[in-house]
Amino acid sequence: MKYSLDTNVIISHLKGDTFSDDTDRFFAWVRGFGHKMYIVDIVYAELYTGVYLSQNPEPEEKRIESFLAVNGIEVKHISSKIAKRAGALYAKHLLKNKKKRFKRILPDFVIGAHAEQYSDIFITWNPSDYDIGIAVKTPVEVME
């Protein structure tokens, strides 16, 4: 099985938030079954935003890189095919929600389009934010 990860799943582990116990169980579960995990380079950039906003970037960078390596999380780059799909998803969202205040931004759609290309399931703590062509689940839902 192949999983693409939303930024919030990795941040949950790094920050130790209210979802972190379930997040950590998920990562151990995936490793135990030998499944593959991916992030798109935009997720990688979002993680590095946190590195550079931290009081001490060097250890934070080592922490992130170590976490990705230990969990075998591969960074995949977007292709023109993924960029086109993201544009289509975003345009559909903008047309559908003309009168609503927008809380979703283009990078979210790039993340979703990437997941469609590389994975069987997209893992996020905000599944209602994604309407893409593959299953979207929380870490807990995947383990059930």
Give the pLDDT of residue 106: 85
At residue 79, the 3 state secondary structure works out as coil
Average confidence score pLDDT of the chain: 93
Burial per residue of 88-115, b for 16 or more beta-carbon CB atoms within 10 angstroms, e otherwise: ebbeebeeeeeeeeeeeeebbbbbbbbb
Q: Which domain range does residue 85 map to?
A: 2-143
- Asked if residue 137 has pLDDT above 80, the reply is yes
Please give the tally of structural domains in the chain: 1
47, with CB counted inside 10 A (0-12, 13-18, 19+), is buried
Q: Write out pLDDT tens, residues 53-93.
A: 999 999 999 999 999 999 999 999 999 999 999 999 988 88
| Best CA proximity match to 42, nearest among 70, 6, 13 | 6
Q: Which of 49-58, 86-95, 131-140 has the lowest mean pLDDT?
A: 86-95
Which CATH number do you get for residue 95? 3.40.50.1010
Give the pLDDT of residue 76: 96
